[in-house]
Amino acid sequence: EGALSRLQVLAAHFGTAEASENHPGGIKRHPTLAGAEEPSHQQASVNTPYKARTGITSRREYERLYRQSVEDPAGFWAHVAEGYDWKQKWDTEHMRSNLDLDRGRVSIEWFAGGRTNICHNCLDRHVEGGRGGQACFLWEGNEPGQDAVMTYKQTLDAVCQLSNWLKSVGVKKGDRVALYMPLICELPIAMLACARIGAVHSVIFAGFSAEALAQRVQDCQCRVVITASGGIRGKKTIPLKQIVDDGLKLAEKAGFKAEVCLVFEHPAVPRQKCPWQAARDVWWREAMARQASHCPVEWVGAEDPLFLLYTSGSTGKPKGVLHTTGGYMVMAGCTTKYIFDLQPDDVYWCTADCGWITGHTYLTYGPLLNGAQVVLYEGVPNYPSPGRVWQIVEKYKVRQLYTAPTLIRSLEAHDAHFVTDSDRSSLRILGTVGEPINPRAWDWFNKVVGEGRCPIVDTWWQTETGAAMLTPLPGAWPLRPGCATLPFFGVQPVLLDEKGKEVQGAGEGILCLKAAWPGALRTIYGDHKRFESTYFSTFKGYYFTGDGCRRDEEGYYTITGRVDDVINVSGHRVGTAEVESALQSHDTCAEAAVVGFDHPIKGQGIYAYVVLADGTSASPEVKKALVATVRSQIGAFAAPDSIHFAPGGLPKTRSGKIMRRVLRKIATKEEDQLGDTSTLADPGVVPKLLETRGK
């Protein structure tokens, strides 16, 4: 195949030939819930007909492009990038990376030399193309009947005002801005306003506690914090500004001071009820009233930072994952287009919060780069009834719905009429992300929600990967419940055995990624050594994902779950070390060890073993106090489901290492599979743990 025809194929698929407005360019088991399900590889294929408007309608078509994407990654991605506006083109040798520590510092660069702005590509480009009057955000409040629409032009104006305000308080390119907000339009607006002027946003999920907030604002040394007076989810009002004040007080004790705090007045907490520090705090509405709705874009380098997002690892404090502008933009736009077959004007709904990576890539940047109408829902899925999600689908005629297995399981538990009472005929594509989806939930999503006519895209990826890595393309090949199927363009997954040898053909191993992709994280903020050691030292030359994975004869990939000490609770990553250190900070706790266990709704739950301090005796009050400590230090979502007092101590090897395998088996009542415990310093602790379980 000659170079010319290859370019033509690329042009046809990535729309660069069209002048239309918008063509941006120790392995664990799968959590087989309820124990009775067949694992994914034993499931029959499901062939849901769907004709993608992107033109990729068969596996052959995909494979042709995939081959090009891995044979000439720089050329492939440059073609995709041409679908976006750049102030300055990238160098001819724009992709420079080294993933091999033996060859020196790990570094990743894409579109080097290029200058662009992601906010411009998300908003100005569409407005300039005559689509300013089209809906950008379809906001749905907590209460049914509460809603608002913002057009692309209105969104651009609001973003410009905020950018101007940020500049007026001295925020410059490269400065960090922390966002702690409910899911209202002002949250993505604030992200875009930072991006517009080259400031680096750091969204902190509004479910994190004051202490977690303090840790994050300190680590990123943000100049400004943007928040709201409060938020409302279901029947619960959340005093966000109070939490920010508490967090900033803690940070001040540790020697860090934020200069300005911008507060959006949310009706859930009126201003009279909001704590206030006149020297530092500013009301959003008053501040915006003085700002012009025009603000020139700061053209930033492709490798200038776009955002920081903190995530949990298996050890230590949360890591500030840093993403840069060009590669992230190109990959966010491209994956959204191909995975969701997203076209301008499509009504698209992703139920994630902006506080997580999914809310960055697939609620904000990806859909806006494609000019879609984005549904933003502030409330919870089961309020005021378990039918709410489907009512929203009917109300806005949602075409693509992207959600998490935990939400699917929690709604599946209710009578099917909650779903069927609403008209879902607008739905064309369903998606899941965040954790393995068990086949039963997949089936329900497929048959009951999608009436068997919507392909389900089970997308595997991570905060670090920036965009989806393993995913079906709708209609292009048969699906299988619980299976992420094939790699996206440019993604080269490998399965390594424990010795680091690549598994060939069908088999199981640790999922790693070979070669750099544009959306990859570039570093851990302020700690490049930790970046190298966390992701690139386990297997030299490969990015280590932390997930176990199986590949079958068809080349399909199935994620089997984390192989490290990260627990995935309702799709939220929780590090065992973080929960342990929260527990250990409490006076009653001498020692703690935390493991995950299969949970019917949350996917995984948190099981904590606690050795009490001398003089403390086990009681329900102590349990409560320990759970409360975790809630206040991390957030409610990380609260242990069970606390198991271990009077005889924890199982340790002679070198003092806690044997977590043993703790996992006891927590999941699989003591028949404890394995070899003869290397324990004191094998007697095991029967004591079994005796005290459930007490």
**Residues in the site for ligand 6R9, rule: CB under 6 A?**
311, 356-358, 433-436, 458-463, 484, 545-547, 559, 562, 568, 571, 573
**At residue 554, what are phi and psi to the nearest 5 degrees?**
-80, -5
For residue 109 the two structure tokens come to: 């660069």
In whole angstroms, how close is the CB of 352 to ligand 6R9 at the nearest point? 8
How many angstroms separate the CA atoms of 457 and 479, rounded?
A: 8
N- to C-terminal Cα separation, the chain: 69
CB atoms within 10 A of CB 59: 17
CA separation, residue 83 to residues 24, 125, 468, 622 (Å) = 4, 11, 19, 59
In whole angstroms, how close is the CB of 244 to ligand 6R9 at the nearest point? 23
Using CA atoms in the order 380, 385, 390, 392, what is the torsion angle rounded to 10 degrees? -60
* Chain centre distance of CA 45: 28
Q: Which of 276, 243, 281 is CA-nearest to residue 262?
A: 281
In angstroms, what is the C-alpha Rg of the chain?
25
How many angstroms separate the CA atoms of 654 and 381, rounded?
A: 48
How many angstroms separate the CA atoms of 100 and 120, rounded?
A: 35
In whole angstroms, how close is the CB of 634 to ligand 6R9 at the nearest point? 15
DSSP summary character for residue 124: I
The one catalytic residue among 245, 564, 565, 598: 564
Q: Which of 646, 628, 635 is CA-nearest to residue 682?
A: 646
**At residue 285, what are phi and psi to the nearest 5 degrees?**
-60, -45
In whole angstroms, how close is the CB of 28 to ligand 6R9 at the nearest point? 10
In whole angstroms, how close is the CB of 566 to ligand 6R9 at the nearest point? 7
Contact 245, 262 (CB under 8 A): no
Question: β-strand 260-264 against 224-228: which pairing, if any?
Answer: parallel
**At residue 492, what are phi and psi to the nearest 5 degrees?**
-120, 90
Q: Which of 203, 221, 303, 300 is CA-nearest to residue 522?
A: 303
Residue 399 or 562 having the CB closest to ligand 6R9: 562
Residue 321 or 667 having the CB closest to ligand 6R9: 321
Strand partners, 595: 607
Give the three-state DSSP class for 430: strand
In whole angstroms, how close is the CB of 433 to ligand 6R9 at the nearest point? 5
In whole angstroms, how close is the CB of 33 to ligand 6R9 at the nearest point? 14
Establish whether 564 is a catalytic residue.
yes
Measured from each CB, the residue nearest to ligand 6R9 is 463
How many angstroms separate the CA atoms of 371 and 365, rounded?
A: 10
Residue 136 or 404 having the CB closest to ligand 6R9: 404
Q: What is the 3-state secondary structure (H, E, C) of 395-409?
A: HHCCCEEEECHHHHH
Residue 21 or 552 having the CB closest to ligand 6R9: 552
DSSP summary character for residue 435: S
For residue 551 the two structure tokens come to: 């590949």
Residue 188 or 651 having the CB closest to ligand 6R9: 188
Contact 482, 40 (CB under 8 A): yes
HSE of 126, CA atoms in CB hemisphere, 13 A: 30
In whole angstroms, how close is the CB of 358 to ligand 6R9 at the nearest point? 5
How many angstroms separate the CA atoms of 443 and 118, rounded?
A: 37
How many angstroms separate the CA atoms of 260 and 632, rounded?
A: 24
* Residues listed for the chain: 695
Outline where 72-179 has alpha helix (H).
73-81, 118-119, 125-126, 152-168
Residue 165 or 402 having the CB closest to ligand 6R9: 402
How many angstroms separate the CA atoms of 109 and 88, rounded?
A: 16
CA separation, residue 269 to residues 237, 565, 581 (Å) = 8, 38, 33
Give residue for tokens 């042709």: 64
CB atoms within 10 A of CB 405: 28
Q: Which residues are catalytic?
A: 564
